[in-house]
Amino acid sequence: PENCKKIIELKNVDKSFGGVHAINNLSFSIYEGEILGLIGPNGCGKSTSVNLMTGVYIHDKGEILYYNADGSSVTLKEQSVPNRAKLGMGRTFQTPKPFSDLTVFENIYTIAMLYNRTLKEAYKAAEEILKFVQLDDIAEQKCTKLPIEKRKWLDMARALAIRPRILMLDECLAGLTPSEMETSLDMVRKINKQGITVLFIEHVMSAVTKLCNRVVVMEEGHFMTEGDPLEVMKKPEVIRAYLGE
Ligand code: ADP
Ligand code: MG
């Protein structure tokens, strides 16, 4: 990845919640066009990293940089959550929370309206995304009682509606059946083929090895190692970290 362009770079990032040192001197980069796996035992700081990149939390120390398509960089600490989304940072949540009073279509359209130039474009984008995530048959359904897989796909749709350059997927397979997982993996591959960079946080290792070009492994809030998924998974320190769970 050294010859590739960076899209996000974390440099010596620290974050504490009271006495919990959740992120400890964390550094790694995400490169344009890749599907980067971010793995590590429960509680090692994967979701917190996404929350720091997307502005849900603000880091205490260090720097997070976002690189625009033209190569210019933005220091993210100064940017609000909506600003970061406008820059092209989309994300899904470990526990999706759609607007429950709205229908599936309205959920996507409402977000698309904020991130497209015209209402007409937003409507067209929402229709395309709805079809892409295979929720067109329940477009008019309210989001109060959607089954888990549909909530996961709607969450992906909402993230796509901001027109992301990078999409961060936080355990998008959790709770899905094997065949639903395959559907999700297929969506992620297609999203990446459209040129969208993907950060893929996942516990299902077979999915990580199938999908990712590269993985970064975290342990106790810091960077442990990185590399080819299959090679990394053979490393004794990685096996040890997972066995210790
Ligand atoms: P992962 O996603 O890798 O399982 P998290 O990023 O969710 O891990 O959590 C990392 C650590 O930070 C854990 O010890 C967790 O309890 C703690 N943590 C995360 N968010 C908060 C918060 N809002 N308040 C307090 N502690 C938090
Ligand atoms: Mg998590």
- Which residue owns the Cα nearest ligand 1 atom 26? 17
Which CATH number do you get for residue 32? 3.40.50.300
* Number of alpha carbons in the 13 Å side-chain half-sphere of residue 175: 13
> In this structure, is residue 235 part of a structural domain?
yes
Pairing mode of beta strands 20-31, 6-17: antiparallel
- pLDDT of res. 245: 65
* Cα–Cα dist 97/11, whole Å: 30
- pLDDT of res. 3: 67
> In this structure, is residue 39 part of a structural domain?
yes
101 class by beta-carbon count within 10 Å (0-12 exposed, 13-18 middle, 19+ buried): exposed
- Which residues have CB under 6 Å of ligand 1? 17, 20, 22, 40, 42-48
- pLDDT of res. 204: 87
**For every one of its 245 residues, what pLDDT tens digit does the chain have, with 9 covering 90 and above?**
556 899 999 999 999 999 999 999 999 999 999 999 999 999 999 999 999 999 999 999 999 999 999 999 999 998 999 999 999 999 999 889 899 899 999 999 999 999 988 999 999 999 999 999 999 999 999 998 899 999 999 999 999 999 999 999 999 999 999 999 999 999 999 999 999 999 999 988 899 999 999 999 999 999 999 999 999 999 999 999 887 76
> In this structure, is residue 237 part of a structural domain?
yes
94 class by beta-carbon count within 10 Å (0-12 exposed, 13-18 middle, 19+ buried): middle
pTM, two decimal places: 0.96
Ligand 1 centre and the CA of 230: distance in Å?
A: 27
Q: Are 241 and 224 in contact (CB under 8 A)?
A: yes
> In this structure, is residue 133 part of a structural domain?
no
- pLDDT of res. 131: 98
- pLDDT of res. 241: 87
Closest ligand 1 atom to residue 170 Cα is: 2
Ligand 1 centre and the CA of 22: distance in Å?
A: 6
List the domain range (segments joined by +) for residue 88.
Answer: 6-99+166-243
- pLDDT of res. 1: 58
Closest ligand 1 atom to residue 44 Cα is: 3
- Which residue owns the Cα nearest ligand 1 atom 24? 17
Closest listed residue to residue 226, CA positions, set 10, 5, 59, 64: 10
Its ipTM equals 0.98
- pLDDT of res. 242: 81
- pLDDT of res. 32: 97
Closest ligand 1 atom to residue 50 Cα is: 6
Geometric angle at alpha carbon 89, from 84 and 93, rounded to 5° = 105
Q: How many domains does the structure of the chain reveal?
A: 1
Ligand 2 centre and the CA of 205: distance in Å?
A: 15
Ligand 1 centre and the CA of 20: distance in Å?
A: 8
Best mutation site among 46, 48, 50, 92 for ligand 1 pocket (most ligand atoms within 8 Å of CB):
48
Best mutation site among 16, 17, 21 for ligand 1 pocket (most ligand atoms within 8 Å of CB):
17
> In this structure, is residue 121 part of a structural domain?
no
Interior/surface letters 117-128, b for 16+ CB within 10 angstroms, e for the rest: eeeeebeebbbe
> In this structure, is residue 34 part of a structural domain?
yes
Closest listed residue to residue 67, CA positions, set 11, 129, 111: 11
* Cα–Cα dist 161/217, whole Å: 29
3-state helix/strand/coil string of the chain: CCCCCEEEEEEEEEEEECCEEEEEEEEEEEECCCEEEEECCCCCCHHHHHHHHHCCCCCCEEEEEEECCCCCEEEHHHCCHHHHHHHCEEECCCCCCCCCCCEHHHHHHHHHHHHCCCHHHHHHHHHHHHHHCCCHHHCCCECCCCCHHHHHHHHHHHHHCCCCCEEEEECCCCCCCHHHHHHHHHHHHHHHHCCCEEEEECCCHHHHHHHCCEEEEEECCEEEEEECHHHHHHCHHHHHHHHCC
> In this structure, is residue 123 part of a structural domain?
no
Ligand 2 centre and the CA of 95: distance in Å?
A: 10
Q: Are 166 and 90 in contact (CB under 8 A)?
A: yes
> In this structure, is residue 75 part of a structural domain?
yes
